[in-house]
Structure 1
């Protein structure tokens, strides 16, 4: 049985990121939310484009007030609103009214904000002596033309898209979305849209919907292949179809040691290399990770395809995704290393946390904030088959091997999901 850290390393070592020349597309800026940038974006402009004011106030020459006993300046007749090109130069002892974003006149180097002044007729009296350069945003201060604005591998959110718009990038090159096939296995499973009533011993296939949602939240495309009975030939046929249709395949169930657990046997028959069979994690111990030879996958001819066989219990299946598969998708999709690993913080547990200590244990619950401090509330029932207990879950308490107890009021390691 492999440790969680060993499993994570094996998986990430197996993932070969998309080729930005092959696995990318050019999209309009309005269509790239949450996509991964496939090439560095260089700014063609200085930011700011020119010296401008960061405040409503008055522009002046610092040298004119540096040695004045009475901070008094003559006010020029013009005003400088934002969006107006100014060619005027300030004369000695003169200032000009300027608004936020307004372009500094020639020779001005300092702004005094409106609240620190008093205007009497055509003269301005300064209540405080300004600092040279105060409230001035200099040309190229934020970034200079020719510098990298955003690096490849960055996930594009609102701030990145806004910056790209400021740089007049109408289209950008992003990685294509990975295609992730999902197969649910088990004689007990029935589809959601079945017209027949649920019989004794049957359950709805919730994994297909939960994993599809997690995949889409990860910026990939989910390709559901439906529910497959525990029949070896039938399962093999569907696995073959999935393998030739996707970049990663996830199947749920069929990876334990039961008489009807066929996934690993079929993978070996296909010539797959099986790298992981079980992990010292709770929940989610039965985990199969395999790579298949390139000739099987018609989508990415030069790289192996990854196959994940996760447990059938719904919380276990989601745990496998949160802890291992999400990072693999991020690396495959060209995202920078920040996105490959779980985000861990510390929070106060408001109830006792318990673990047997034999496996790295993940306890689901909710993370909230009280007076700015993170607080973790665990659920009451940690059965991996109890999907109802996971409703509202946004975080997991991590109990390391040999750690059996975290008392209420102590800090716990929390994985954000």
Structure 2
């Protein structure tokens, strides 16, 4: 049985990231939210593009204050968007609005609240500092400097900055295709109109894993439920490998008489790296690789890409924990994300209830994380059955009890991974 940390490192070492030259596409900026940059982004524009005012007020040459007590107000205002800003004469000032381009000769802006207008003259009611309320060209960004680095996952604020610098399209890695199928004679498709018979359950894992793959930046390819028959399972695995970059199956990886996945993978020439993990829930986890002719994925050099196969438990929460802890990071690395995105982000939070574990395996307890008075607070759910899909509704965090850790009393801190 592998430790959690060993399993994580094994998986990440097996992943061969997409190539930035061949596994990429150029997409419209509006479609780029959540995508991963395939190259560094630079702009030919400075930002701001020119010196401009950050306030409504008056622009002037600060040195003129040493010679005059009041400034003559020029007749022409400078609103935002104006392309005409006549040079200032000595001892002059000009009405300017936020975003307006500074005229030649001006180097300072005074707020309109800090001046007194006397006819066509302006007097300052408070001392002014040279350069005050001026946003200088290139102050925020200089052209040619890397703005966003390769591997960055684009968020909304990034798109705004890219738009301001006139980047209409961006180069991104293509999204990993992830084939998903469930195993089990008891599974029924959600689309089925027939009443459930005794012993049958809806194939919910198909929807859960598809949603998690989408959240992780992948494209789910749903293959439905496959009965526990070896020929059917082998056919499903062959189809999945041929059509996707990564495969996830749920069920069939434990030690029951109908758990065929590991046996079939071995017969098909896969190398099994992981078959069980010291984690609860999620102990029966299979991690295998294919590099045979079944796998059509190629690296930039034309070699076969080592393709990962994940067999997660059939219990819904076990499948989720396996995904959150191991597969999410694998998709991030495969899809070109920065190394920081490969690993879960841990924080410490105060638990509102006692937490218990047997201590033999690293234990993950789900619940709700909130912030109160600047502190992270974890509120666990009441029922931790790995088959209780209802208990996971609305949860956003997992509390972690390490091996040999059996108890965390209410009010104490515990390691938390946000999901």
The two structures have a TM-score, normalised by structure 1, of 0.95
- Preserved CA contact (<8 Å) 1:86 1:104: no
Give the distance between the partners of 1:203 and 1:34, measured in 2 at CA: 34
How far is 1:195 from its partner? 2.7
**Residues 1:297 and 1:91: Cα distance change in structure 2 (over 3 Å):** same
SS of the residue corresponding to residue 112 of structure 1 reads strand
Between the two proteins, the alignment pairs up a number of residues equal to 415
SS of the residue corresponding to residue 76 of structure 2 reads strand
Give the aligned partner of residue 160 of structure 1.
158
Give the aligned partner of residue 109 of structure 2.
111
Pairing 1:71-150 to 2, within 5 Å after superposition? 72-150=70-148
The two structures have a TM-score, normalised by structure 2, of 0.95
- Preserved CA contact (<8 Å) 2:282 2:321: yes
Give the distance between the partners of 2:117 and 2:5, measured in 1 at CA: 67
Give the aligned partner of residue 370 of structure 1.
372
Give the distance between the partners of 2:62 and 2:339, measured in 1 at CA: 47
How far is 1:254 from its partner? 0.9
Give the aligned partner of residue 275 of structure 2.
277
Give the aligned partner of residue 358 of structure 1.
360
How far is 1:294 from its partner? 4.6
Give the distance between the partners of 1:183 and 1:42, measured in 2 at CA: 41
Give the distance between the partners of 1:341 and 1:121, measured in 2 at CA: 66
Structure 1 residues 258-295: Cα deviation after superposition (integer angstroms, max 9, x where no partner): 11111111111111111111111111111111111152
| Larger deviation, residues 42-51 vs 189-198 | 189-198
Structure 1 residues 233-267: Cα deviation after superposition (integer angstroms, max 9, x where no partner): 21111111111110000011111111111111111
How far is 1:371 from its partner? 3.2
How far is 1:169 from its partner? 1.9
Structure 1 residues 167-194: Cα deviation after superposition (integer angstroms, max 9, x where no partner): 2222222111111011101122111122
Give the distance between the partners of 1:141 and 1:322, measured in 2 at CA: 41
What 5-or-longer segments of structure 2 have no aligned partner? Answer: none
Structure 1 residues 203-252: Cα deviation after superposition (integer angstroms, max 9, x where no partner): 11110111011111112111111111111121111111111110000011
RMSD, matched Cα = 1.7
Give the distance between the partners of 1:207 and 1:223, measured in 2 at CA: 13
- Preserved CA contact (<8 Å) 1:245 1:299: no
1:204 aligns with 2:202: yes
How far is 1:162 from its partner? 1.6
| Larger deviation, residues 27-36 vs 279-288 | 27-36
How far is 1:373 from its partner? 2.9
- Preserved CA contact (<8 Å) 2:289 2:309: yes
Give the distance between the partners of 1:409 and 1:117, measured in 2 at CA: 57
What 5-or-longer segments of structure 1 have no aligned partner? Answer: none
- Preserved CA contact (<8 Å) 1:271 1:292: yes
SS of the residue corresponding to residue 180 of structure 2 reads strand
1:412 aligns with 2:414: yes
- Preserved CA contact (<8 Å) 2:297 2:305: no
How far is 1:412 from its partner? 2.1
- Preserved CA contact (<8 Å) 2:177 2:221: yes
How far is 1:401 from its partner? 2.0
